[in-house]
Amino acid sequence: MKKRVFLTRTLHDFALSELKKRYKIEIYSGKIPIPQSKLRSKIKDVEGLICFPYDKIDKNTIESAKNLKVISTYSVGFDHIDVECAKERKIRVGYTPEVLTDATADLAFSLLLDLFRRVSEGDRIIRKGGWNIIYGAYDYVGIDLQGKTLGILGLGRIGKVLAKRAKAFDMKIIYHNRKQVSESKEKSLNVKYVSFEKLITQSDVISIHVPHTKETDHLLDMKIFRRMKNTSFVINTSRGKIINEEDLVTAIKKKIIAGAGLDVYEEEPIRGNHPLVKLQNVVLAPHIGSSTKETRSKMAEITIKNLNLGIEGRKPMYSIGY
Ligand code: DGY
């Protein structure tokens, strides 16, 4: 009998046909995220689960799945999964790092460019028929990137690629990490290691590239925003919960900082009437860090490979925990 696999969202056609050859699959097609009670009832008997970052794969959910062998997430982030609980129950967890590094760094850089040059804001003005109000010599001006300081919080895979992009635009690059990278790496990327305090106070724009953990939860809050320059921006393509969103809205409204470029939110999808949506000096993307044709199909390939290995009782190609 074919093993059963549940997907909380559909995947590419090639991926589905591959899955169908091996498994009996069921795909949730309703509004995201799948309600928790539905998710629990759907995975009760399955051997494999394919999930996405907006799904909550918590302890209760994992424990409701009696035959589950593998959770294969279509993402590099895995803070939506209780990895410890999966490990205790000998359930494999697979994820998709590496393939989305360039795409995510590119998105972070495009948010930076957009904020500095006010592209989305101008788009909104034009669509409202307001071009005539932005024709002055010094109104509606952006900022040069050249010579400005980019602070990279977390110089991992994505942070390093972002540094390469910023170097090409002649930005000064500082970074803060748990561990300083090698001198030769610093030299090739043209980056300088600084303390967290210096990163916060010296950057003209801070881009977040650390994972969401207990330690990074609400790492950026009003206390931090108050120490930043009031001309500086925040970019987040990592996880929404690293920023205290309520504080961010207040900091931007009160001009404590200049604005933000966000791809991730405390709750996703962000609601249409969220206070962030009303702010002009904010660029909002719908969690599309990895969303290019090429990257997304590579992620699907890895998601399936991870799933297959886990169902066979083997370690996924990219594995966390057990
Ligand atoms: C991931 O894969 O975790 C990213 O957030 C997707 O953009």
**Mind listing the pLDDT tens digit for each residue in 58-74?**
999 999 999 999 999 99
pLDDT digit string, tens, across residues 268-283: 999 999 999 999 999 9
Distance 239 CA to ligand 1 centre (A): 8
Q: pLDDT at position 255, please?
A: 98
Is 194 a domain residue?
yes
Distance 50 CA to ligand 1 centre (A): 14
CA distance 119 to 117: 6
Same domain, 180 and 205: yes
CA distance 54 to 35: 11
Is 319 a domain residue?
no
**CB of 75 sitting under 6 A from ligand 1:** yes
Is 316 a domain residue?
no
**CB of 287 sitting under 6 A from ligand 1:** yes
Is 26 a domain residue?
yes
Same domain, 84 and 217: no
Give the largest Cα separation in the chain, rounded: 72
**Residue 85 near residue 71, CB atoms below 8 Å:** no
Same domain, 249 and 171: yes
Residue 211 reports pLDDT greater than 90: yes
Kind and range of the H or E element at 7? strand 3-7
- Of all atoms in ligand 1, which is nearest to the CA of residue 238? 5
Same domain, 86 and 213: no
Same domain, 254 and 138: yes
- Of all atoms in ligand 1, which is nearest to the CA of residue 96? 2
Same domain, 61 and 137: no
Same domain, 140 and 150: yes
Alpha helices in the chain (DSSP H): 13-22, 36-42, 59-64, 83-88, 101-117, 119-127, 157-168, 183-189, 196-202, 222-227, 245-253, 293-311
Phi, psi angles (nearest 5°) of residue 119: -65, -55
**CB of 209 sitting under 6 A from ligand 1:** no
**Residue 28 near residue 36, CB atoms below 8 Å:** no
**CB of 151 sitting under 6 A from ligand 1:** no
Q: pLDDT at position 33, please?
A: 92
Q: pLDDT at position 197, please?
A: 98
Is 320 a domain residue?
no
CA distance 196 to 182: 18
Number of domains in the chain: 2
Range of the domain at 106: 101-284
CATH for 107: 3.40.50.720
> For residue 244, what is the DSSP state?
-
Q: pLDDT at position 134, please?
A: 77
pLDDT digit string, tens, across residues 94-153: 999 999 999 999 999 999 999 999 999 999 999 999 998 877 788 889 999 999 999 999
Q: pLDDT at position 321, please?
A: 83
Same domain, 117 and 194: yes
Distance 188 CA to ligand 1 centre (A): 27
User: Considering only CA atoms, which residue is closest to atom 1 of ligand 1?
Assistant: 75
Three-state DSSP state, 178:
coil
User: Considering only CA atoms, which residue is closest to atom 2 of ligand 1?
Assistant: 75
Question: Could you give the residue numbers annotated as active site?
Answer: 239, 268, 287
pLDDT digit string, tens, across residues 216-267: 999 999 999 999 999 999 999 999 999 999 999 999 999 999 999 999 999 9
Say how many C-beta atoms besides its own lie within 10 A of residue 142's C-beta. 14
CA angle 58/61/65 to nearest 5° reads 135
Spatial CA neighbour of 239 closest among 287, 199, 176, 203? 287
Distance 108 CA to ligand 1 centre (A): 12
Is 29 a domain residue?
yes
Same domain, 267 and 147: yes
**CB of 106 sitting under 6 A from ligand 1:** no
Mean of all residue pLDDT scores within the chain: 97
Same domain, 81 and 118: no
